[in-house]
Amino acid sequence: MTTTSTPSGLARFNALPDAAARAALLEACAATAWAERLLAARPYAGADDLYAASDAAMAELTEADLAEAMAGHPPIGRPRPGDPTSAREQSGMAGASEDLKAEMLELNLAYQDKFGHVFLICATGRTGEQMRDAVKERIGNSPEQEREIVRTELGKINRIRLGRLLEDA
């Protein structure tokens, strides 16, 4: 579905030099293949076109591309110092009790031991308890099931981050 007018943030994104647009896209998602596909499809007529391109690029990421994307995400409850994006997205853990934070650290480590990467969830709007419950539920998944869940969660995160990019562009 294409919007009829190009929002000003999207117009600014479309007009960015390739290097600046690539850097902005890699801030949203660390998968180079995803960023390159979105970059190659510029200019976008509307935000819906950008989101559709993001979804299509996400669907085509290889296992190595997904690993590259996940490497750009810190563990839940441990945003990188000086990273306002992950701190904002994980704000549901900010007010969590020390017990919940310790439990989440333990669960993150168990998940990482099983799957070889950080537990990834679209944390925006979720409480610490909801994130804990999700990792407890998902740790029983097969690697194949989890890879597809991660792909879906990354897609949600990318849409949120692209929306912010268009606001800030």
What is the CATH T-level fold of the domain 8-168, as seen in this structure? UraD-like (1.10.3330)
Kindly report the number of other CB atoms within 10 A of residue 38's CB atom: 24
pLDDT of residue 162: 95
Of the candidates 136, 112, 131, 110, the one whose C-alpha atom is nearest the C-alpha of residue 121 is 131
pLDDT of residue 140: 96
Amino acid at 60: E
Q: What is the pLDDT of residues 1-52, one digit of tens each?
A: 444 455 689 999 999 999 999 999 999 999 999 999 999 999 999 999 999 9
Residue pair 29/57 in contact (Cβ under 8 Å)? The answer is no
Quickly state the pLDDT bin for 138 (edges 50, 70, 90). Answer: very high
CA distance 84 to 99: 24
- Distance (Å) of CA 5 to CA 9, 45, 49: 12, 7, 12
pLDDT of residue 77: 74
Q: What is the pLDDT of residues 92-137, one digit of tens each?
A: 788 889 999 899 999 999 999 999 998 999 988 899 999 999 999 9
